Amino acid sequence: MGAPVTVSPGSPPLLSEGEPVLLLDRQGRRTLATLRAGRTVHTHRGAVRHDDLIGQPDGAVVRTSRGDRVIVTRPRLMDYVLEMPRTTSLVYPKDAAFVLLWADVFPGARVVEAGLGSGALTLALLRVLGPHGSLVCYEIRPDFIARAQANLERFFGYPPTLLIRERDVYQGILERDLDRVILDLPEPWRVVPSAATALRSGGILCAYTPSIVQVQQTVEALRQSGAFAAIETLEVLYRPWVVRGDVVRPEQQMIGHTGFLTLARRIATPADALEVPDLAPGEDVDVPG
């Protein structure tokens, strides 16, 4: 199995029973497994016994039943999300990354999310919120809740910072004094009035929608409410590259479209009273020097 790897005192613990791992072969093909003593995982390059993985350091190279080598590593959250079972379309990692920074989700924040779906965005939010944050997630479909809970538990255990409400968010948000409201459902404009009540002044609403018609309706509702300013819509274009010897070029295939993000800030004074312009990044901002 090659030279032994020394694990320094500061390294994370060795791979252990119950945790998800990712097996990568030399073609970059990926197999996700949750480690259980006595089990076997089947990769494109042959089988590997979990007993041969438990106790290995993260990043170990192991041999399969066919004698090929594969790497075993802890999955990044996005590796896990792309491999986990899904009942709905997901907020893709490129977009989830933007949600976290553009909606400025921070450790300890109080957040409402709707809907839960497969739990992809929920996982990203929970990790940033940390042990002192709070996430309340609205979802109308009990069968989706069960699947998403299984996805969350497999990655995290069940985090005490999460409350799932089996409830129609169009009927209103029950929480108050929220820092952020994050929406991924068909009619986010219907949540704008209750989000205006539920968000604290300065709080941020972020809606993820696949269609530009949904964007238009959401922006219209945000404007009409008079409770939001700094309204902004964007999409994230992600283009990976191949860098192999003389082949240095973009990948030939891209994901052409996922969704749009629309963001807005809850303000204390009605927007009309101030005539606040919408603010796009890089626009209307004086940069010293």
Among residues 48 and 185, whose Cβ is nearest to ligand SAH? Answer: 185
Residue 12 CB, shortest distance to ligand SAH, in Å, is 27
Among residues 117 and 133, whose Cβ is nearest to ligand SAH? Answer: 117
Among residues 110 and 190, whose Cβ is nearest to ligand SAH? Answer: 190
Residue 136 CB, shortest distance to ligand SAH, in Å, is 12
For the sheet with 110-114, list strands across it: 162-166, 134-139, 110-114, 178-183, 199-209, 260-266, 228-235
Among residues 25 and 168, whose Cβ is nearest to ligand SAH? Answer: 168
- State the residues that interact with ligand SAH by CB under 6 A: 88, 90-91, 114-121, 138-141, 144, 168-170, 184-186
Among residues 185 and 267, whose Cβ is nearest to ligand SAH? Answer: 185
Residue 148 CB, shortest distance to ligand SAH, in Å, is 7
Backbone angles phi, psi at 120, to 5 degrees: -65, -50
Residue 90 CB, shortest distance to ligand SAH, in Å, is 4
Residue 137 CB, shortest distance to ligand SAH, in Å, is 9
